[in-house]
Structure 1
């Protein structure tokens, strides 16, 4: 009788997943800046429920070790993650019923460990499925619908980060708009400049090394240093060019952050444009020329369509990079989610930090998933 094959990744992650129920599930604070008291599932739900959760975790690990079909693994993991989040919200409500009015409940180490392992296993199961564009789109839509339903249900309303959101809802919406302008505005500007520049240096090879070396040099400058370097020239422009000042250009604020993110975005776009056009098979270009196409027609109808997946890969890199780097711009007054992160650090308020971190991570994941879907769609198209 053949022995069952054990899933290796599940075996590696089994120990932290089994340890999670024994660690703190909640952190109860008397106020938003006090040190949390670590509490387990038993303090919120009682010992029998905590024991059932530990037994359920053991059964989940055994199932993951033996279950090989990625679709079934995804369903099992998604159900486990949803149940974990629902228990977190309900447990927070129970703990707050017995606490002072100013008390806050945040997720504990055990929750973060279990949630992190489940997400890793979900991503692995998704990768093993190797879904096409249509199943990817359906999974993405289902995930967004589930998240929207969860947030709209109010089941997480008693968590500390939700309390911070309620106190700063207007500021959060403004920060969201600022963050989108910083990340996507700088990307669009870099695309408008980088795509023609990449095509130019692909045609004129003598320019390739100097341009790419310059952009590589810019990429090596730390973000906070580049933000600081731009303050003086932009402040000078604002002081001596009235039209620039009226347009909102000044030494601090959104302008230096936009310029810095624009500069960081150029290298991936330019380099991938060159690589994408270089990868077009010479036989294809020769066939297009043999059909009487001009250089502009070959570029528009042959080379750019074939290079588009590589260029879109650069767009994915740039957008995810910009979403992360935009948080640093809050140090010079650019706004965005980084405002909450640095305010939380200054106030030693972990919940306020999470109010900036969680949407930043979610936006980066969503952007990456959407662009991966677009890239897969283009690669599936027949030549």
Structure 2
């Protein structure tokens, strides 16, 4: 019922926004005025049917199909509405989704998430469903059906810059994750073995987490600027007060606490009886670590990596303020120009990346928790 109320409330909000150019404020367009009735009626019926099926207490698969049907109607209304509104509006006119469209999309995504939570698919089923959804999204973008939307026009005029920003964003997020793993795993193992080291290390890493992200990036500027000025070899490697290096180092420092803490927690959760059994089999300490403790701790360790990856994808946006690149460069350019669509060009891919990363890491966590089948 909550989803139904939200869906009905969305109809009272503008579905599209028509602007004379990319900067000025525009006019809201209601859903029923957004396109010809030949497109509005079937799209609205698909939306209503999707939300209606989502409200049923029947099979979750039927509710999942309803959310997909609603998404199909939503896309039809968006595509047809954008094309209709741009007719005769001038070459500089822009059309973008308004509050009503975003609310409807949120309702449909919540209905899909609710149906999936009822279905409880296994990790491989979730991976297959994620691949299908990403393929459908890629096909929709590749088809050019959304090319009339203002955010896609921003993309069309910045295709090369977008690819460069995407590669830099991935490098910041995954690179800092890899560096934190290389440092954090051994440090976590040592902290597990040595209580004094653990008592000294975890508070320091916790303190680093309390520093606001913008302040952390700012602290890196004078430090690495001094390193680059003092050591020419460091400058030759690309280390400078602004750019990729300070953003990367700040993300690594933020990543250490989840990696180290989850490694310590996972290793500490190994049942003592299991360790004693391994010791009774004659395993050395290193063998127990690699064959018993780490495999049992892997779900907790991967959960820490999930936190780091999702966190770093979001924090990498702030790197745009210090010349680190990534999607944050579009976000802050848009803020400076009061261009909402340019902000969305950086924000939407970041959100998609974070969601996909979270789902993939959840799948990996579930796979490591599986108990192998007994062999006859």
Q: Deviations over 1:79-100 (max 9, x none)?
A: 2112202320221011112211
Aligned 8 A contact 2:96 2:149 in 1: yes
Query: Compared with structure 1, are the counterparts of its residues 137 and 55 closer, same or farther at alpha carbon in structure 2 (3 Å cutoff)?
Result: closer
Query: Compared with structure 1, are the counterparts of its residues 237 and 229 closer, same or farther at alpha carbon in structure 2 (3 Å cutoff)?
Result: same
Aligned 8 A contact 1:327 1:339 in 2: yes
Give the Å deviation of 1:53: 5.4
Q: Give secondary structure in 1 for the equivalent of 2:34.
A: helix
- Unaligned runs of at least 5 residues, structure 1: 1-10
Among 10, 15, 27, which residue is 1:20 paired with?
10
Residue of structure 1 equivalent to 2:282: 292
Query: Compared with structure 1, are the counterparts of its residues 103 and 221 closer, same or farther at alpha carbon in structure 2 (3 Å cutoff)?
Result: same
Give the Å deviation of 1:115: 0.2
Give the Å deviation of 1:48: 7.3
Residue of structure 2 equivalent to 1:174: 164
Determine the C-alpha separation between the residues in 2 that align with 1:351 and 1:86: 21
Query: Compared with structure 1, are the counterparts of its residues 218 and 159 closer, same or farther at alpha carbon in structure 2 (3 Å cutoff)?
Result: same
Matched, 1:325 2:320: no
Matched, 1:135 2:125: yes
Q: Give secondary structure in 2 for the equivalent of 1:106.
A: strand
Residue of structure 2 equivalent to 1:8: none
Residue of structure 1 equivalent to 2:359: 369
Determine the C-alpha separation between the residues in 1 that align with 2:12 and 2:47: 11
Matched, 1:155 2:145: yes
Give the Å deviation of 1:70: 1.4
Residue of structure 2 equivalent to 1:90: 80
Q: Mean Cα displacement is larger for which, 16-25 or 136-145?
A: 16-25
Determine the C-alpha separation between the residues in 1 that align with 2:285 and 2:350: 42
Matched, 1:110 2:100: yes
Q: Deviations over 1:89-121 (max 9, x none)?
A: 221011112211110000011110000111112
Aligned 8 A contact 1:198 1:274 in 2: yes
Q: Mean Cα displacement is larger for which, 348-357 or 118-127?
A: 118-127
Give the Å deviation of 1:61: 3.9
Give the Å deviation of 1:252: 0.7
Residue of structure 2 equivalent to 1:272: 262
Matched, 1:244 2:234: yes
Determine the C-alpha separation between the residues in 2 that align with 1:328 and 1:380: 37
TM-score (norm 2): 0.96
Residue of structure 1 equivalent to 2:54: 64
